[in-house]
Amino acid sequence: MRVLVVNVNTSASMTATIARAARRNASAGTEIVALQPAFGAEGVDCAFESYLAAVGVIDRVVTYRERYDAVVLAGFGEHGRDGLQELIDAPVVEICEAAAHAAMMVGRTYSVVTTPRRSAAAVEDRLRLAGLDQRCASVRATDLGTAEIDRDPVLAMEAIIGEARLAVEEDHAEVICLGCAGMAGLEEAITESLGVPVIDGVGAAVRFVEALVGLNLRTSKVGAYAPPERKEIMGWPLSHHLQLGGPHR
């Protein structure tokens, strides 16, 4: 099985962090291919950067020419998952929904600890859209940008633990979800500090796509994720001109 794990920003070091987390959680026999967009922001922390990342991620996946079985979108609540599902028939799982689903299997309530305060809105919107918000106790922000987390894991750890402790003590969260792919790898230390399950969405998403592929499930094409009408797309900053229509694989 080959799984594409796509970082939504252009940071090579964060892509490496995501790749390590994905491989650490993957089953034997699962090949992880870590990718990042050819264009976009080095850290995705606002709506503009998220929409730009969505185009970059779609571009990177549809121009990947080797065989693959599933895609993990390693952006916590970022845009683009739905559009990508229209274009390919392989399963696509993004890490926000994966983390929330896993959290609800091991606790009654969960909280998300994310990056800047402005990023919390995107997380809240994704959880609400997916119908996963009712058991979310809170979305707390570290006020660290994605690039800061990438540069200084020690500072990130301290900030995440601080907000996670408040989520447990004040918001009554029973599980913590790490609200940024760049936080992958910190879950064990935070669990040890707080004594609650901590979920890295990258690892959860890898395990979910393995299950979907193992069940021979693919994205439904009869409704919301049907391919776009066939038309020429001009002026879009893709790696090359692409004629849309029909699922890519």
pLDDT of residue 33: 98
Segments forming the whole domain that contains residue 72: 2-94+204-244
Residues 118 and 165 in one domain: yes
Residues 56 and 109 in one domain: no
- Min mean pLDDT across 66-70, 105-109, 136-140, 239-243 is at 239-243
Residue 249 belongs to a domain: no
Residue 210 belongs to a domain: yes
Residues 129 and 115 in one domain: yes
Query: How do residues 111-168 score in pLDDT, each as one tens digit?
Result: 999 998 988 989 999 999 999 999 999 999 999 998 888 888 888 899 999 999 999 9
Residues 116 and 155 in one domain: yes
pLDDT of residue 151: 87
Residues, the chain, total?
249
- At residue 240 the predicted structure's pLDDT band, cuts being 50, 70 and 90, is low
Residues 113 and 176 in one domain: yes
Indicate the average pLDDT of the chain: 91
Residues 64 and 51 in one domain: yes
Contact assessment for residue 58 and residue 92, using Cβ atoms and an 8 Å cutoff: no
pTM > 0.95: yes or no: no
Residues 171 and 157 in one domain: yes
b/e map 49-80, b = 16+ CB within 10 Å = bbebbbbbbbbbbbebeeebbbbbbbbbbbbb
**Two tokens at 185?**
């790898």
Residues 103 and 123 in one domain: yes
Residues 88 and 209 in one domain: yes
Residue 243 has pLDDT above 60, yes or no: no
| Cα 80 to Cα 54: distance, rounded to the nearest angstrom | 4
pLDDT of residue 248: 45
Long-range contacts made by residues 60-64, C-beta under 8 angstroms, separation at least 24? 60/6, 60/35, 60/36, 60/239, 61/4, 61/6, 61/35, 61/87, 61/88, 61/248, 62/87, 62/88, 62/238, 62/242, 62/248, 63/238, 63/239, 63/240, 63/242, 64/4, 64/33, 64/35
> What is the number of domains present in the chain?
2
Residue 238 has pLDDT above 80, yes or no: no
Strand order in the sheet with 70-74: 31-35, 2-7, 70-74, 92-94
Residues 20 and 30 in one domain: yes
Query: How do residues 4-43 score in pLDDT, each as one tens digit?
Result: 999 999 999 999 999 999 999 999 999 999 999 999 999 9
Query: How do residues 128-143 score in pLDDT, each as one tens digit?
Result: 999 999 999 999 999 9
pLDDT of residue 236: 60
| Cα 180 to Cα 148: distance, rounded to the nearest angstrom | 12
Which residue, chain included where needed, has tokens 């500090």? 193
Residues 61 and 135 in one domain: no
Q: What is the DSSP track for 6-60?
A: EESS--HHHHHHHHHHHHHHSPTTPEEEEE--SSS-SS--SHHHHHHHHHHHHHH
The partner residues of 200 in beta bridges, in order of sequence, read: 178
Residue 120 sits in a domain whose CATH number is: 3.40.50.12500
Residue 188 belongs to a domain: yes
| Cα 92 to Cα 47: distance, rounded to the nearest angstrom | 21
- Fill in the amino acid letter for 235: G
Residue 157 belongs to a domain: yes
Contact assessment for residue 72 and residue 209, using Cβ atoms and an 8 Å cutoff: yes
What crossing angle do the helices spanning 12-25 and 201-214 adopt, rounded to 10°? Answer: 50
Residue 89 belongs to a domain: yes
Which residue, chain included where needed, has tokens 């004594």? 195
pLDDT of residue 246: 43
Q: Helix or strand or coil: residue 126?
A: helix
Residues 110 and 44 in one domain: no
Residue 43 belongs to a domain: yes
- Conformation bin of residue 162: beta by default, left when phi > 0, alpha when psi is -120 to 50: alpha
